[in-house]
Every structure is written in structure tokens, then in C-alpha cells.
């Protein structure tokens, strides 16, 4: 006859393990050995756990060499000698790892376990299509709920970091800024490629930015863009917007924070050669059409002339423009009115 057991019956006599108290006991134990001298805070707790792991391993090896009995064997003396150097090695090697200063270190007491971390996220949508620069869940530079560290957010990191978004977008400088919107007016030869020509002739016909020559230089030889171009899995175009069209609130010292957002209906939406949102593998935000890290200031003597990098340009600089890199192959000059720069 089978008997049913309750959880209370099965766990009777088992003391609940409190990890905080366990950590304090280990720290007190190994502090007395002097091996934690020079460490403080979480580094002391981590080192205490590592030393405890080493002690447990030595006991298991000694038990194996001793045949499982209580009396030491002839070979157990080798283990006792090893203990004199094992713990100082752990203290010296793991205590000096640069990883302790760069990332979160959580030593484990078992071969497998759960690791916990705290992922901070943006509390509001910042940078959008509203005249006040406030974003929405569907259109924003900094999206509410997105991680301030990197993409993806939360448990999505289990699939691996994308190395984009959050701090990879230099997020610390733009989120707290006041954002505003500037509409873009129709400009000839605004969307183009340069190719490898030394004259930098702007081509507005269908085509893609190359990974070499003038195209590669003004795309800053970005490894992600270059990889997409070389593998023929991505196409890109340049877009130049005159600084005079960006409004008096435009800050030329914060060009990396400028985002191209769609405010209306553009004719290119009906074409097979559309612009596309690069997505979270390139950067954070929602529905941002330009790759913000590649924004730069340029000057040009004419609408279709050669361009020159001009990082110190201002609104009063002749021919100054904001150069952006877009994902896609075509956008007509009449479609620019459907976009804004935030």
C-alpha cells in the first residue's frame, strides 16, 4: 500500500540554509587564517567561498587517497604538503584577477546553481516625435523598460549579450538631456552613396554604401556595417541634413544623440527598396532609422559636392550638415518631410 508524504514530513529535521548567515560564517572562519587580509566588502566574501571550495576539494582528495577510511594512508602526507601552497595560490591568483574590478563575480559552492543579477532599466521614453522630444513605446531613442547596460533586456540575456544598446550607446550622456524635434525639409541629393571615387560624387540611384573607399571612411569602417556589406546581408545609405534645418535647439556637441524618426507616411514604404530600422542588434531605442554612433558633422560646398569631416562645425558654418548612416537603399527627397530628427 502506497503512502503519501507531505513536504513537511520529507524536510523534517532539515535546517533552512540562510545564504547571508552562511557567508558571514565563512568570512569569519577564513579571516582568522589571515588569507583575507587586504580585501574588503564583497571581495572578502568571494574569497572566503573560494577558499572553502578549495578546502572541500582537498578533503575529498584526501579521502580518496586514504581509501575512504578514517586513518591516513602513506600518500596522505602529499596532500598535507599541498595544503601549504594551495590556499596561498587561490588567494594570490583569484585575488589579483582584473575581472573583480570590471564585472560581477559570484563564486559557486556547488558544480551548478543559480546566479542572480540586477538589471536597471529606463523609467521613461526619451527622445521621440513629439515637439517636446518625449518618446513613446513605439518611437523613442531611450525606450522605457530597456536595459541601461545592453541589449537584450532581463532574462533575454540568457541567449547572450548583443553588445549594443545601453552603455554601448554611450547612454549616460543623452538620457538626461532635454530633447526636441526638428522637421526635415526637402533637399536634393540628401540621400546618397559615395563609392570609392576620389571625387566623392554623390550617387542618388539605387545602391549601397561600400566597405572601402570614401564610403568606408565616412561609415567610419564600423565593423558591424562592414561585415553586413561584405557578406551582402545588409545595405546602407548616407543622409545629410543641413544644420540650419535642425532648429535653434540643436547641440552640435551631442551629434551621437540625434535620431531619425518617422512622423508620417513616406512614399518609399511602397517600394521594395525601403529604409529599415537597424534593430536591437545595432543599438537601443525603438524605430530609430539611423545608426546613432556613426553620426558626424560634415561640410560641403554644394548640395551634390564632395564632403569633408568637420567635427567642430556649428550652425553658422557654411555648408555644415549632419551626416547619418541609414539601413536600406532608397529614399526620395520628397519623402524627407515624413521624418524628423530628435
232 and 321, same domain (yes or no): yes
Domain span at residue 69?
7-102
191 and 329, same domain (yes or no): yes
Query: Does residue 131 lie in a domain region?
Result: no
What per-residue confidence (pLDDT) applies to 74? 45
Q: Which of 78, 102, 126 is the last residue of a domain?
A: 102
Q: Positive or negative CA dihedral for 189, 195, 197, 200? A: positive
Query: Does residue 275 lie in a domain region?
Result: yes
What per-residue confidence (pLDDT) applies to 188? 63
**C-alpha closest to that of 196 among 211, 219, 214, 220:** 214
Euclidean distance between CA atoms 205 and 202, whole angstroms: 9
**C-alpha closest to that of 245 among 293, 303, 192:** 303
Query: Does residue 165 lie in a domain region?
Result: no
3-state secondary structure (DSSP) of residue 311: coil
Q: Which of 67, 85, 102 is the last residue of a domain?
A: 102
Query: Does residue 286 lie in a domain region?
Result: yes
Euclidean distance between CA atoms 194 and 213, whole angstroms: 8
Euclidean distance between CA atoms 165 and 174, whole angstroms: 13
Q: Which of 102, 134, 160 is the last residue of a domain?
A: 102
Other C-beta atoms closer than 10 Å to the C-beta of 179 total 23
**Helix axis angle, 19-31 to 42-65, nearest 10°:** 80
Residuewise pLDDT in 10s, the chain (342 residues): 455 656 565 555 555 666 667 778 888 888 888 888 888 888 888 888 888 888 888 888 777 766 555 455 445 556 666 777 888 888 888 888 888 888 778 887 777 777 777 778 888 888 777 766 677 777 888 888 888 888 888 777 777 777 777 777 764 567 777 777 777 766 666 777 776 555 677 777 657 788 888 888 888 898 988 998 888 788 888 888 888 777 777 788 888 888 888 776 554 444 434 778 888 888 888 888 888 889 999 888 776 778 888 889 888 888 888 888 888 766 655 566 667 777
Find out whether 80 and 23 touch, Cβ atoms under 8 Å.
no
What per-residue confidence (pLDDT) applies to 280? 85
189 and 303, same domain (yes or no): yes
Query: Does residue 65 lie in a domain region?
Result: yes
80 and 190, same domain (yes or no): no
48 and 186, same domain (yes or no): no
315 and 209, same domain (yes or no): yes
Euclidean distance between CA atoms 292 and 164, whole angstroms: 11
Query: Does residue 142 lie in a domain region?
Result: no
Find out whether 34 and 44 touch, Cβ atoms under 8 Å.
no
In the DSSP assignment, the letter for residue 221 is T
188 and 92, same domain (yes or no): no
Find out whether 296 and 227 touch, Cβ atoms under 8 Å.
no
67 and 195, same domain (yes or no): no
Euclidean distance between CA atoms 165 and 111, whole angstroms: 33
pTM above 0.95, yes or no: no
The β-bridge relationship of strands 236-242 and 191-192 is antiparallel
70 and 201, same domain (yes or no): no
199 and 335, same domain (yes or no): yes
214 and 332, same domain (yes or no): yes
What per-residue confidence (pLDDT) applies to 272? 39
Query: Does residue 46 lie in a domain region?
Result: yes
CA angle 168, 170, 174 (to 5 degrees): 140
What per-residue confidence (pLDDT) applies to 14? 54
- The contacts found for 82-88 with CB under 8 angstroms, 24 or more apart, are 82/58, 83/58, 86/54, 86/58, 87/33, 87/35, 87/51, 87/54, 87/55, 88/35
What per-residue confidence (pLDDT) applies to 171? 47
Query: Does residue 111 lie in a domain region?
Result: no
What per-residue confidence (pLDDT) applies to 1? 47
Euclidean distance between CA atoms 145 and 174, whole angstroms: 16
194 and 291, same domain (yes or no): yes
The alpha carbon of 241 is separated from its chain's Cα centroid by a whole number of angstroms, namely 28
Number of domains in the chain: 2
Amino acid at each position: 500500500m502506497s503512502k503519501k508524504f507531505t513536504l513537511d514530513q520529507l524536510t523534517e529535521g532539515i535546517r533552512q540554509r540562510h545564504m547571508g548567515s552562511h557567508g558571514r560564517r565563512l568570512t569569519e572562519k577564513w579571516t582568522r587564517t589571515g588569507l583575507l587580509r587586504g580585501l574588503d566588502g564583497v571581495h572578502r566574501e568571494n574569497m572566503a567561498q573560494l577558499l572553502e571550495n578549495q578546502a572541500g576539494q582537498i578533503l575529498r582528495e584526501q579521502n580518496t587517497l586514504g581509501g575512504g577510511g578514517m586513518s591516513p594512508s602513506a600518500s596522505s602526507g602529499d596532500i598535507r604538503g599541498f595544503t601549504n601552497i594551495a590556499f596561498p595560490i587561490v588567494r594570490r591568483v583569484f585575488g589579483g584577477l582584473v575581472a573583480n574590478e570590471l564585472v560581477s563575480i559570484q563564486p559557486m559552492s556547488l558544480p551548478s546553481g543559480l546566479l542572480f543579477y540586477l538589471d536597471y532599466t529606463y523609467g521613461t521614453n526619451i527622445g521621440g516625435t513629439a515637439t517636446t522630444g518625449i518618446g513613446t513605446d513605439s518611437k523613442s531613442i531611450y525606450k522605457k523598460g530597456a536595459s541601461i547596460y545592453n541589449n537584450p533586456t532581463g532574462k533575454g540575456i540568457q541567449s547572450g549579450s548583443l553588445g549594443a544598446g545601453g552603455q554601448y550607446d554611450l547612454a549616460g550622456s543623452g538620457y538626461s538631456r532635454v530633447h526636441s524635434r526638428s522637421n526635415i525639409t526637402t533637399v536634393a541629393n540628401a540621400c546618397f552613396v559615395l563609392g570609392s571615387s576620389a571625387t566623392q560624387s554623390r550617387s542618388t540611384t539605387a545602391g549601397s554604401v561600400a566597405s572601402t573607399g570614401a564610403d568606408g571612411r565616412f561609415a567610419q569602417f564600423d565593423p558591424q556595417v562592414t561585415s553586413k556589406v561584405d557578406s551582402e546581408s545588409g545595405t546602407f545609405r548616407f543622409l545629410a541634413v543641413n544644420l540650419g534645418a535642425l532648429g535653434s535647439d540643436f547641440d552640435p556637441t551631442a551629434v551621437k544623440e540625434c535620431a531619425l524618426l518617422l512622423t508620417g507616411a513616406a512614399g518609399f514604404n511602397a517600394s521594395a527598396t525601403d529604409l529599415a530600422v537597424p534593430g536591437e542588434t545595432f543599438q537601443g531605442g525603438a524605430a530609430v532609422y539611423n545608426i546613432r554612433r556613426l553620426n558626424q558633422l560634415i561640410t560641403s560646398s554644394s548640395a551634390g559636392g564632395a564632403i569633408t569631416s568637420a567635427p567642430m562645425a556649428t550652425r553658422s558654418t557654411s555648408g555644415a550638415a549632419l551626416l547619418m548612416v541609414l539601413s536600406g537603399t532608397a529614399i526620395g527627397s520628397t519623402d524627407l518631410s515624413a521624418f524628423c530628427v530628435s
